Copies of this chain bind each other. A is one copy, B any other.
Amino acid sequence: MARPRSPLLSVDAIVTAALALVDETGDFSFPKVARRLGVSQSALYNHIDNREHIVELMRGRVFAAPAPVDLENSPWEDALRALVRAYRGCTVAHPRLVPLLITQTVQDLGVIGIYEDMAVVLERAGLGREAVVPAISTIDYLVLGSALDLTAPEVVWAPPEGQYPVLSRAIAGLGSVEERADAAFSFGLEVLVAGVRTQALHGIY
């Protein structure tokens, strides 16, 4: 075939195929993406640099449109909750992407924009400047961690009978994977809000 009259591939098509594979199987590979798109493996390199590049493009796609948040006209606590929930909302549709995101530096400007919004709200909350980045990091851990839990099997920890009584009791009567991940996220978010409130009051951690 050689060069076609109009391109068979595009960055967008590659990202779509890769993301679909991640959603379905938890991973992607060049051979599989190429097969989906009906091209040869090496053709991908005409549009993207390497594997990392595809991952970063997927990050951009997934975090492109967080639910808009009105930062101005609500107390910082509500603004922070809304912002973090919007951020988390992006991950929920593609939780299996999270392991690929976690080991790679954030370059996507959409995500940087979300961080900026968080920084604004956190300063408004009264957090010292030196605590803003730690706070954003903590939020990142919470959002990505609880997204990761969405991909976990039904039984996460299986303590053997008898030993570990307190943990066993706490585990009994837990809901589905989604309910557990949501509960952990909601708990973490309220802990965060309460913690930021006291940090803003008393400073220095």
Contacts and interface: CB of A to CB of B under 8 A. Distances in A.
Interface of A: 99, 102-103, 105-107, 109, 112-113, 115-116, 119-120, 123, 129-138, 140-142, 144-146, 148-149, 151-153, 155-160, 163-167, 169-171, 173-174, 180, 183-184, 186-199, 205
A109 B160 contact: yes
Copy count, this protein chain: 2
| Interface SS, A side | helix
Nearest to A141: B145
A90 to B, nearest CB: 17
B141 A137 contact: no
6 contacts: A135-B187, A141-B144, A141-B184, A142-B142, A187-B205, A194-B198
A31 to B, nearest CB: 19
A99 to B, nearest CB: 5
Contacts of A129: 169-170
Contacts of A138: 142, 145, 184, 187-188, 191
Contact of A199 (B113, B156, B183, B191): B191
A123 B166 contact: yes
